[in-house]
Amino acid sequence: MKSLRLLSYMCFPSCSYAQFDSRICQKVRRIFKDPGVPKTGFAPKCQLAHSHIPATICQVKPACSGQLTQPLTGKGRHDGHRSKGLRERLRDGEDIICAEGYMWELERRGYLKSGVFTPEVVLDHPERVTNLHEEYVHAGSDIVEAFTYYGHREKLRLIGREDELEKLNLTALSLARSVADKHGCLMAGNLSNTTSFDPDDATIIERTREIFKEQVEWAVRGGADMMIAETFNDLGEAKLALEAIQKYGNGIPAVVTLTPYFHDVTTDGVPIPQALRELEQLGADVVGLNCGRGPKTFLPLLKEARKVVKGPLAALPVPFRTTPKQKTFQSLTDPENGKKLYPLDLACVQCNRSDIREFALEARDLGVRYVGLCCGSTSNLVRELALVYGRNPPSAKFEPDLSKNFAMGGLYRRSSHILSHMTGEEDGAAS
């Protein structure tokens, strides 16, 4: 530790111990095997030859304009855990809880538009994104995922904000980094399907490579601990995402998940379990499934994947009551009138806490090491996952206690009588 501190002052005499670019920190830490070096938030690079140094600590002041958004103190409620990356946690037998579903939850709250689904809330109301990060950590998530889902060039072009692409990505990463460091969580950069991928169009393939490249490079600059590449139904596009992480990600771990739609094959014709095995063989640290299906129709395919995937398996279904006839949440209909529900009217088929608890128990018994929920996720459902996986998140303090309910808890002489009036059942039967 003393050697590390001495080296820091020799190299950067005017900066504090906390003011290192995260990549410099990681390299020095590897040399000295010091797990206690705090990371910094993102700082724009100096434009001189020493571009690896944040401009705030550069010695040539006139040419620099960067500013550290969040100098870190190294403090967090999981301080002894914060130095462990994804690979180390998995190596040590730990399970990972990952809350997702930012897009749908922020649309539900009125901060982005359904249909085009772009994360402009990051620019327009960043405090709302921070609040949701905090909620998910409070519920038990180990990962704070930067909200860059659909924050790529193709999507922002559709809403006329392509010129704000870099700002959106770096802001999202900074928001996530701040919350992750506060609580000792991992911070993940994010890649999503581009929506425009065509395996038979060389121009689109090259454009997809460029989209992934720039988002991975921004994630590295923003201090991401890992990358999540998700919601792919083309194996070819998923491979391009993994390729970009491996080529431009500075060695950070990659989680790659495919989306199962109605059929158990990708849109480019590969059985999904086989596709996951291919991604694993190509070097993804975690592979699995996310989105598309609810727990009931998600689990059978997950069991098939478990037979061929050798390493950590991920499972992040949507929390909706899909059925064998309506396998995906896109195919669900209203039980009362038969109308299609996707994407605006799915509330009537939302999973409840018991549904998610049952899913978590099955996933845990199946050996799923990386678990979460996708579109439609809420913090109370994330808490159910965390509790099943043996966690005690802060929100566990507020687990329901119906024994103290005035009607259901039998606290008073007339409790059962009141409950029978609520339910329409006879006294005694209601309790």
Ligand-binding site membership of 374 (annotated): yes
Ligand-binding site membership of 15 (annotated): no
Structure tokens at 201: 């169009």
DSSP output for 28-82: HHHHHT-TTPPP----PBPSSS-TTSBGGG-S-GGG-----S----S--TTTTTT
Amino acid at 318: V
Instruction: Report the run of H or E that residue 238 belongs to, with start and end.
Output: helix 235-248
What would you measure as the largest C-alpha separation in the chain, in angstroms?
Answer: 82
CB atoms near residue 167 (< 10 Å): 12
CB-based burial label for 61 (10 Å; 0-12, 13-18, 19+):
exposed
Angle between helices 235-248 and 202-221 (to 10 degrees): 40
Q: Which residue has the tokens 């700082």?
A: 43
Amino acid at 257: T
Ligand-binding site membership of 64 (annotated): no
Contact 76, 69 (CB under 8 A): no
CA dihedral 220, 114, 297, 322 (to 10 degrees): 160
Binding site residues, as ranges?
A: 291, 374-375
- Binding-site residue ranges for Zn(2+): 291, 374-375
